[in-house]
Structure 1
Amino acid sequence: MLNLSVVLEDSAREHPDHTAVVYGDLRLPYSLVDSMANQVANLLVSRGIGRGDKVALACPNLPYFPFVYFGILKAGAIVVPLNVLLQAREITYHLDDSEAKAFFCFEGTPELPLGERGLEGFEGAAGAEHFFVLPATPLATESPYGESVWAALDGMPGTFETAATSAEDTAVILYTSGTTGQPKGAELSHQNMLLNAMVSDEMFPSHERNVYLATLPLFHSFGQTVVMNTGFRRHATVVLMPRFEPAAALELMTGESVTSFAGVPTMYWAMLTAVRTGQADVPKSLVTAVSGGSALPVEVLKDFSATFGVGILEGYGLSETAPVASFNQPGRPAKAGSIGTPIWGVEMRLVDADWNTVDDIGEIAIRGHNIMKGYYNRPEATAEVMRDGWFRTGDIARRDEDGYYYIVDRAKDMIIRGGFNVYPREIEEVLMTHPAVSLAAVVGVPHDSHGEEIKAYVIRGPQASVSEEELVAWCRENMAAYKYPRIVEFRDALPMTATGKILKRELR
């Protein structure tokens, strides 16, 4: 018997009065979070939902998220977390594709009409039977969109005997962002998710007080494993922030004495900008800063360490790897620009298109306890990326003599200009050393004779003035002739996903 909900249950048993979740003025102890999850489990069982059934959850970082997430797991069912930015049509697709029987959906706000989209998406789905609304007003028993979870939970006991799931049973289906084709559901077992949280927990030094800031979306694998599940396992306090705003995040860090922050590179860049422009002060309590999701520009890493007095530890993983696969691990020297070495129990190698191991630059393949069971109901898609327990990631990397890996780029982001392979990440790194450049994203755009031409989208630093011509000329002096961007476009902002990754497909 193994169930991921043990990360909550053990902490609730050992530290019932310890604060598990902070949201605004709310401070919820572990005992309360656990008994709320028990009520959700009882509700599901009362509606005929149990082991192996899929239950979808669309909710920003609010206390509802852990209540429902762990309640689904306790019932032996499978959590299908959905991105809160999905439109109704996309929600229908995810509900149908995962064969979800029930759907818990946040009511939403004027800026995020999730309840409306959720109900429309639910009504369009063939097999989904139960729609539970998570009201925006605390404890509200009515909602215009359907059955309020508070009304449904009324009278449900706060105790529950967790279903006896096995290590291999699916715990979570995480949908990949679907940059190519329709999103696919990566099936992750209780063992995948639990071991990843345990290894993540043991990699970081524990402090007298452990306070995590959860601004990465919990519906995404990074926030779920590295912040919520790891935080709950070490009896930490998890401070919830539904929407990342750099100055507000820094204020929260100071106000709640946050010790650990996990984010994507654009969050670190935004916090640096907020400090530099005087919108916020540097928090004094921060001890651990972790970056993942996409490659962290070395300039941002250097500036952050100098400004905040905390080094950023960079790691690497994907939804399919639960997610952590490699990390700059405490006790070993951290290398700037590197995603570190494989975590405990995990192997990595570089392969070519035919799965042959290569020494110099190749695609990362991973094997270990963190690899998904496969894509839900997609044997062909699974066979494309998995062989003999190895999973190929689509990321191109190199490895140094100490075994540290460095992401070169996403295989699909590589630009082929006049027959030369050009990796956008390398150009972005160089561009960001220019004093006037704050953030850069490089893409290939169609070109008649070269096949693709290199284009850079640039956000200038505060008060910086550099023209397109000047920047192109500077690039020509600092990069090989086939590499430098011929086209520069200045922007005030770049399109990003809900997790803060730059959306290159919208720039192409």
Structure 2
Amino acid sequence: MLNLSTVLEDSARNAPDHTALVFGDMRLPYSMIDTVANQVANLLVSRGIGRGDKVALACPNLPYFPFVYFGILKAGATVVPLNVLLQSREIAYHLDDSDAKALFCFEGTPELPLGERGRAGFEAAQGCEHFFVLPATPLATESEHGESIWAALGGMSGEFSTAQTAPDDTAVILYTSGTTGQPKGAELSHQNMLVNSLVCDKMFPRSEGGDVYLAVLPLFHSFGQTVVMNTGFLRGSTVVLLPRFEAGQSLELMVKEGVTFFAGVPTNYWAMLTKIHADGAEVPSTLRVAVAGGASSPIEVLKDFEKTFGIGILEGYGLSETSPVASFNQLGRPTKPGTIGTPIWGVEMKLIDPDWKTIEGEGPGEIAIRGHNIMKGYHGRPEATAEVMNDGWFRTGDVATRDADGYYAIVDRAKDMIIRGGFNVYPRELEEVLMTHPAVSLAAVVGVPHESHGEEIKAYVIRTPGATLSEDELMAWARENMAAYKYPRIVEFRDALPMTATGKILKRELR
């Protein structure tokens, strides 16, 4: 037997009264989280849902998420976390594609009418049988959108004997963002997810007196799930929930709750630094570990953070298909800013060409990964799985170089590469250069169609507060600092850039 719910159960047994979750004024102990999860498991079993069945969960970073997540796992079923920004049609697609039998859906807010969208998606889906509402009002037993979880849990026992799942049983189906075609569900086993959390625990030092994690990364995403919630619970730490990242609120919570561990994407760090420099926000003094993933961190942000906070950001790398962590700048080894470090314990990485042939030396080449963290495959898509899997290796679509010490550095997504007049141009390289300009706060570079060159290079830029830099001035500066075929011929200034729920810049929208 192996069940991912062990990360909660062990901590509930060893430290039942220790605070597991902080949300607003609520401080919930491990014993309570485990008890409610047991009730959810009993509810599912009472509705005929058990080992091998799929259950969807659409919920932001609220206490409901771990209640339901671990309840589904305890019942032996598979969790299908859904992005809370999905529309009704997209929810129906995910329910059908995953073969979900039930949907737990947050009621939502006027700004995020998730309950309305979830109900419509549930009704449009073909095989989903049960719809449970997670009310916006705590403990409310009624909802206009359907059966409240609190009404459904009435009379359910707080004790449950966890299902005897096998290590290779699917614990979670994580859907890719769908940058090419329809989103695909990566099937991750109990072993995939649990070992990844164990390795994360081993990689990062524990703070004396216990750790406090700030959860701003969406828990429906692999990064937030594994590195923050699952590893935090495995350690018996306190996890402070923030439903939506906001730089000022994040910094205030770090100070108030004594946060020791923060994981975020580069734009989270950029936003917090901007808040500190522009508004004089207090710099938290308790932070001991800061990790970044999800996208490449600009060197200027890394330098600024270390100067401001007094600690460096440990950069890592992974994908939904790799549970997600695959490599990291690890303690005990030199940290190399701008790299994604070396493969984590039990994982191999190499560079390959389009024909799967290994590339020796520094590359560049596409990253391929093999190890305990690799998904079982895409749910119901054997052909799509075969495209990315070969003899246990998973090809990532990310182009990287590798130095003599075995540290990898992302060049760019293979699909983001711009081909201008026959020359290959990697947007990340240009973004790094642009962000060295004192008037540039954030930059995103994309290729746009061009009659003679095939593609032209366009930069979307957020200026630093108070800066008056013009398009012509920035292009002239870029021309002096980049090769003739690389510098942006088109510049557009914006106050904000489109981002995913996890904080990645949405380049497909910019295109």
Q: Place the TM-score, normalised by the shorter chain, in its bin.
A: over 0.9
Aligned: 1:486 with 2:467: no
1:325, CA displacement in angstroms?
Answer: 0.1
Q: Which residue of 1 aligns with 2:220?
A: 219
TM-score normalised to structure 2 length: 0.99
In structure 2, runs of 5+ residues without a counterpart are: none
CA deviation after TM superposition for structure 1 residue 281, in Å = 1.0
Name the counterpart of 1:136: 136
1:415 aligns with 2:433: no
Is 1:213–1:239's contact at 8 Å kept on the other side of the alignment? yes
CA positional deviation for 1:278:
1.6
Give the superposed CA RMSD. 0.5
Note the 1:354-503 alignment, pairs <5 A: 354-359=355-360, 360-503=363-506
* Amino acid in structure 2 at the alignment position of 1:369: H
Q: Which residue of structure 1 lines up, in the alignment, with residue 255 of structure 2?
A: 254
C-alpha distance after superposition, 1:76-101 (max 9, x if no partner) = 00000000000000000000000000
Match of 1:11 in 2: 11
Q: CA deviation at 1:279?
A: 5.1
Q: Could you tell me how far apart the structure 2 residues matched to 1:279 and 1:192 are?
A: 42
Q: CA deviation at 1:463?
A: 1.0
Contact 1:247/1:279 (8 A) holds in 2: no
Structure 2 matches for 1:191-230, cutoff 5 A?
Answer: 191-207=191-207, 208-230=209-231
Would you say the 8 A contact 1:21–1:240 is kept in 2? Answer: yes
| Partner SS for 1:116 | helix
Equivalent position amino acid for 2:147 in 1 = E
Code of the aligned partner of 1:206: R
Q: Secondary structure at the match of 1:105?
A: strand
AA partner of residue 193 (structure 1): M
AA at the equivalent of 1:77: A
Q: What letter corresponds to residue 465 of structure 1 in structure 2? A: T
Tell me the distance in 2 between the aligned counterparts of 1:456 and 1:297: 15
Q: Does 2:346 align with 1:325? A: no
Q: Determine the C-alpha separation between the residues in 1 that align with 2:35 and 2:391.
A: 42
| Paired amino acid for 1:474 | W
CA distance in 2, matches of 1:383, 1:171: 21
Secondary structure of 1:445's partner? strand
* Distance in 2, Cα, partners of 1:445 & 1:306: 37
Deviation at 1:318? 0.1
- Once residues 112 and 67 of structure 1 are traced to their aligned partners in structure 2, the CA distance between those partners, rounded to angstroms, is 21
SS of the residue corresponding to residue 205 of structure 2 reads coil
SS at match of 1:481: coil
Aligned to 1:312: 313
Deviations 1:458-507 (A, max 9, x none): 00001111111110010000011111111110000000000000000011
Q: Which amino acid aligns with 1:67?
A: F
Q: Secondary structure at the match of 1:212?
A: strand
Identity of aligned residues (%): 80
Distance in 2 (CA, whole Å) between partners of 1:280 and 1:132 is: 40
Conserved? CA contact 1:259–1:287, under 8 Å? yes
Write the distance in 2 (CA, Å) between the matches of 1:498 and 1:182: 18
Q: Distance in 1 between matches of 2:456 and 2:443?
A: 16
Partner of 1:72: 72
2:85 aligns with 85
Q: Does 1:176 align with 2:176?
A: yes
Which residue matches 2:509? 506
- What code does the residue aligned with 2:93 have? Y
Distance, in Å, in 2 between the alignment partners of 1:147 and 1:98 is 22
Contact 1:133 1:143 in 2 (8 A): yes
Distance 2:311 2:66 in 1: 29
Q: CA separation in 2, counterparts of 1:299 and 1:426?
A: 13
| TM-score of the superposed pair, with normalisation by structure 1 | 1.00
Displacement of 1:209 in angstroms is 2.2
Whether 1:278 aligns to 2:279 is yes
Gaps spanning 5+ residues in structure 1: where?
Answer: none
The size of the alignment, in residue pairs, is: 508
Counterpart of 1:16 in structure 2: which amino acid?
P
Tell me how far apart the structure 1 counterparts of residues 133 and 254 of structure 2 sit (CA, whole Å). Answer: 31
Q: Secondary structure at the match of 2:279?
A: coil
User: 1:9 aligns to what SS in structure 2?
Assistant: helix
Runs of 4+ in 1 over 4 A off after TM superposition: none
* d(CA) in 2 for partners of 1:468, 1:111: 35
- The residue that corresponds to 1:351 in the other structure is 352
